[in-house]
A and B are shown apart, each in its own frame.
Chain A
């Protein structure tokens, strides 16, 4: 127990928390006290869990409230409520298992960190529990949705509380033991990058489930209850073959089977973890250099820096999130609202900030290798240009894609065309600001492009201006019978903000140019 608490205190859940010499060096450089006194070491695991709980708690409360409302109106249709509950719980269980296994396969493999820990006098069983906790912590977000949804059902449908809580605990135990077994069996088949990507997709999936709940909450559930199609459509989740709903089954045999299975899997997991956890796995076939070098490359075609930056974009899970989130959110808004304007506005407001993040990430990645960069026979402007153009062009492309999708679904509004030049201006401004602050005010951690102060400045400028331009346009074109003073105010705010955006773009362009020459 002592060993475990030491591991948690000093290493935390280090797949997700930046550790290692680079982070420590950067922290000591930035926060080193000149008087030589040292602050006490904070518990890294507690810090991570606290942040995670604080961020997931509001979501869990919302999921609980929305589910409670839905189930309260479905009390007269217990079969529909049951099907809906089985569907959501199976979905969350699946998210949990996939996410857990992804992280678990990495944490049970022989990573550099485990290599070091194995040289220390720490029991393997402690390392096994530590790895399990790492995997478990990665799923707290999913877990909060799961619990919120389950409690919503319990209070909404008025099922016997004790039995339901026990079934929920059984379900959690079952999916955890199952995931742990698969993790230990697949140990070494995952990578840190894959785990992070998987988490991004899981988070995105959960975010859209959350949006889904907000949508479902607004529809007439009474009508839904009378519609038998929904029951037929989702009834597969009620099937006795759906192992993920056995713990909640009316059949005592299935519940008992879940208990037996869970215990057996736990025993098997413990046995297997002693056999195979943290062992070297057979590496995949190593390719010959000649074979590797034969691969078709577009480095020369696109210019070295553009090609290199595109590679970073494809391989970095944060990028994938930053691009997918506003896009999918825009699409979602389009389907739940009347026109494409309703989807374009939230898309642009979110994407302008993310565009700054993308430019900042590309620039900070370059700056991390500046010792190499400065030896290359290229002008600094050639290096910085892709950091600006790539995020701007991709976000514009996503903007146009949303418009095309809107057109295909007859939701296109011509007013969206006015947003195009404005978006280009806003994205360019964001990219300049992002690149500038990633050099002048870099973040503490390697993966954080800006400091917290810079993040607030960037958010204020980009989101503030996007809102100040787009909201008046929406008002002018979408709100009928605007009063004269309202119309004048809209025009003044919009034109003033456009002028401010142009001036700020020029200002940050000059500052960026200056700073890259000095660096």
Chain B
């Protein structure tokens, strides 16, 4: 479903992503973890065709990203970390814009939109996106992605800005979609989410993947909690020393 080989992204002299390989299967929930600035978002941007890699190849749903970017984008769904929605559009207008761009069945989509709005308690479709809070825009963005039920979902910090109930619904929904065959590639800083939801995780640090396995395999290998494993692999300073010095 998702395959990346030798994926590299350089910004001038800075190497944001350094020749990583990824292989995510159909119906899998794949967690992509890493500290801030490790290269998670850059990787997602390359996998979703919004950023051109400096080197390496990407294959999504059996199609090469270089040759079939539009076909791939039509079949995947992306929820970016920052939900930038056209500020001058109202909530329902944004959803209609998406329906029009993806050439979806309007009647069918309207039913799904109503269901998702009820689930996420979205009652502000008549409001301009520019007047919405981050959380409100995040929910709207999620609805615009989930209503299509794409074959592959890329979610960059999907629970940020969501209230507890909405976050729980989203997590359950993603698991349900995965059971039905959707591939989910998600980044998160909340290790509990990764532990509960993901079939496999990869930890990226300084542009390189430093660990990749299922949570149980990692725990067995390092004999520690996911949090301790993550920190031992990525943190440079002792946390206790930092806290003591503050």
A: which residues have CB within 8 A of B? 193, 286-290, 292-293, 295, 297, 299-300, 303-305, 307-308, 311-312, 315-316, 365, 368-372, 374-379
Contacts and interface: CB of A to CB of B under 8 A. Distances in A.
Nearest to A290: B114
Given A289-B114, A365-B86, A307 B70 contact: no
Given A299-B96, A311-B88, A311-B89, A377 B125 contact: no
A265 B21 CA distance: 73
B82 interface: yes
A292 B50 contact: no
26 contacts: A193-B128, A286-B123, A286-B126, A289-B92, A289-B114, A290-B114, A292-B92, A292-B125, A293-B110, A299-B93, A299-B96, A304-B101, A305-B101, A307-B100, A315-B88, A315-B128, A365-B87, A365-B88, A369-B86, A372-B83, A372-B85, A374-B48, A374-B50, A375-B73, A377-B71, A377-B73
Contacts of B20: none
Given A289-B117, A289-B123, A293-B92, A372 B100 contact: no
Contact of B86 (A290, A308, A379): A308
Nearest to A517: B52
B219 interface: no
Given A289-B117, A292-B92, A292-B126, A374 B99 contact: no
B243 to A, nearest CB: 26
Contact of A378 (B101, B117, B125): B101
A295 B96 CA distance: 11
B66 interface: no
A300 B102 contact: no
Contacts of A312: 86, 88
B106 interface: yes
A460 to B, nearest CB: 30
Interface residues of B, number: 42
Interface in B46-97: 48-51, 70-71, 73-74, 78, 80, 82-89, 91-93, 96-97
Contact of B97 (A286, A304, A368, A371): A304
B113 interface: yes
Contacts of B51: 374
A307 B93 CA distance: 10
Given A292-B126, A293-B125, A311-B89, A375 B78 contact: yes
Nearest to A294: B110
A419 B110 CA distance: 48
B83 to A, nearest CB: 8
A371 B50 contact: yes
Identify whether the interface residues of A are mostly helix, strand, loop, or mixed.
helix
A376 B103 CA distance: 12
List 8 tightest A-B contacts by C-beta distance, closest first: A374-B50, A304-B100, A377-B73, A377-B74, A299-B100, A375-B78, A299-B96, A304-B101
Contacts of A375: 48-50, 73, 78, 80
Given A308-B86, A377-B73, A289 B122 contact: yes
Nearest to A306: B100
Contact of B70 (A193, A287, A377): A377
Contact of A369 (B78, B84, B101, B126): B84
Given A299-B100, A375-B73, A376-B73, A287 B86 contact: no
B231 to A, nearest CB: 29
A217 to B, nearest CB: 41
A286 B124 CA distance: 8
Residue of B78, B85, B88 with most partner-chain A CB within 10 A:
B88
Nearest to A315: B88
Contacts of B91: 292
B93 A287 contact: no
A306 B51 CA distance: 25
Interface in B144-202: none
Contacts of A369: 84-86
Given A292-B126, A299-B96, A365-B88, 20 more contacts: A287-B126, A288-B123, A289-B114, A289-B122, A293-B114, A295-B92, A297-B93, A299-B93, A300-B96, A304-B100, A307-B97, A308-B97, A312-B88, A365-B86, A372-B80, A374-B48, A374-B49, A375-B49, A375-B78, A379-B70
Nearest to A366: B86
B220 to A, nearest CB: 37
A289 B91 CA distance: 10
Most chain A Cβ neighbours within 10 Å, of B82, B93, B110: B93
Residue among A290, A295, A304, A371 with max Cβ neighbours from chain B (10 Å) = A371
A165 to B, nearest CB: 44
B99 A300 contact: yes
Nearest to A303: B100
B143 to A, nearest CB: 10
A177 to B, nearest CB: 31
Nearest to A369: B84
